Amino acid sequence: MSAQTKQTTSFIAGRHVPSLQTYPNIDPATGAELCQVARGGAAEVDEAVTAAAAAQRGWARTSPEERSRLLVAAAGLIRRDRETLARLESEDTGKPLAQAYADVDVCARYFEFYGHTIESFYGSTIPLGGDMHVYTRREPYGVTGHIVAWNYPLQLVGRAAATSLATGNCAVAKPADETPRSTVALAELIHEAGFPAGAFNVITGLGAEAGDALAHHPGIAHLGFVGSTATGSKIAHAAADRVIPTVLELGGKSANVVFADADIDAAVPSLVRSIIQNAGQTCSAGSRLLVHRAVRAEVVEKMAAAFGRVAIGRGVDDPDLGPLVSAKQLERVTGFLDRLTAGEVVAGGRSPDGLPEALAGGAFFAPTLVDGVSPDDEIAREEVFGPVVVATEFDSDDEAVALANGTDYGLVSAVWTQSLGRAHRMAAAIEAGQVFVNTYGAGGGVELPFGGFKKSGYGREKSIEAFAEYTQTKTVVVKL
């Protein structure tokens, strides 16, 4: 992997493309500059889309076996460079190194999973009559565009790239402004694995410039976006203007629903992880804690105690909790607590005390629990995107369902109960793309379909279901 210490550049058609204009990439743990980033724009996007279109014409004719071989080879290279990739991810995002290693492993797993499954992705035959032979073909769209968020750069771009390439598309990705380095490194590895030049391209730059140019480029046949609901709406409008499909993974306000018969001691560690993972900067974070009145005091007390034991520090030092991604994000999270008019802050609520002087400029926020929050409060309705969970009590199963469904979002939820009947009834009643029982997986594994209901977006990524999102069905009718 080539070193990029002075400027992180776009990667187009197998080569690095620097820009005259740059902007600083900031370490969220210290506020210091990590490097300069090429500020690509419409010209670089056009060059990348042109390169992808040229590569795709040949790539679409390759056999699933050939695609499988290259995808698995890319996975091997990702694992080979695990240390470097994890370090980049931890420095850029601020996440603990252990979580960055996990992100690298999952990125490799996407390439393996889709490399192994693409050879079993078939069309269908339709029995229309003895003298008719009818079958369907799954064909690629062409050039896919991907605009991804800063919270899980490698995971998000890895699943998009692997699915797109596996199904015969070629791709152009725009990583988030704050976290470009691991995506460029991934593009290098995909090229090294033997994919044709232009199969996967990366444009670094600002969302309002490079991202907007990619979303509106006439050569993009399919758009994928991960980020805020407000920006997702703009992406959807851009796609609708050109009548192209899009997959949107947007915001969330996911609930852990804890019933009186739950195993509280088994639940609490998972409840804590669901909100401190990646400093709560996860669309599927467990940011709402709905607790039965009979066990509310116990759950709140044990959650607050667990928060008090969370180790905080630089991501590369591998604490339990790293900084938020930027000073801007810290200001956003702090604002929710400043505007709080009801509820009791029983843990956190501010930047942590006792950090080393070297981290004084970092975007740190203590794990925070606010008890007694009304479901109508801003902090209970809006996505905070920080290590902040709000607790609300309920008395009945029906009230629990109403509270769980009482937001504009529907991404993930979890039910904690020892009643099998209640677990299945709640899973059916909750409006969310994923429902966990007595566990919580923020987004789940590679094998699990992932996507939202309501304003959490539409379309599904991960699992074999993603193949359907990245291909279009052609029906062939032959009279014999």
Catalytic annotation, residues? 249
Measured on CA atoms in the order 437, 157, 231, 385, is the torsion positive or negative? Answer: positive
> Other CB atoms closer than 10 Å to residue 192's CB: what's the count?
15
Helices 397-404 and 420-429, axial angle in degrees (round to 10): 40
Burial class of residue 290, CB neighbours in 10 A (0-12, 13-18, 19+): buried
Query: Which residues, other chains included, contact 163 with Cβ-Cβ below 8 Å and sequence gap of 6+?
Result: 110, 114, 461, 466, 467, 469, 470
CA-CA distance, 422 to 299, in Å (whole number)?
Answer: 20
Start-to-end C-alpha separation, the chain: 55
Name the residue among 226, 207, 204, 228 with its Cα closest to residue 216.
207
Q: What are phi and psi of 134, to 5 degrees?
A: -120, 130
Q: Are 304 and 294 in contact (CB under 8 A)?
A: no
Report the side by side order of strands in the sheet with 15-17.
Answer: 15-17, 10-12, 200-202, 170-174, 143-147, 222-226, 246-249, 457-458
Structure tokens at 371: 């008890």
Residue that is written with structure tokens 């565009």 in the block:
145
Q: Cα separation of 386 and 326, whole Å?
A: 11
Burial of 265 (C-beta count, 10 Å sphere; 0-12/13-18/19+) = exposed
C-alpha 312/C-alpha 307 separation (Å) is: 11
Q: For residue 107, which phi and psi values (nearest 5 degrees)?
A: -60, -45
What one-character-per-residue DSSP string does 323-389 give? --S-HHHHHHHHHHHHT--SSEEEE--SPPSS--GGGTTS-----EEEES--TTSHHHHS---SSEE
**How far is the C-alpha of 181 from the C-alpha of 25, rounded, in Å?**
9
The strands making up 388-394's β-sheet, listed across from edge to edge, are 344-347, 368-371, 388-394, 288-292, 255-258, 412-416, 434-437
| DSSP per-residue codes, 375-432 | TTSHHHHS---SSEEEEEEESSHHHHHHHHT-SSEESEEEEE-S-HHHHHHHHHHS-S
Helix axes 64-80, 82-93, angle to 10 degrees: 70
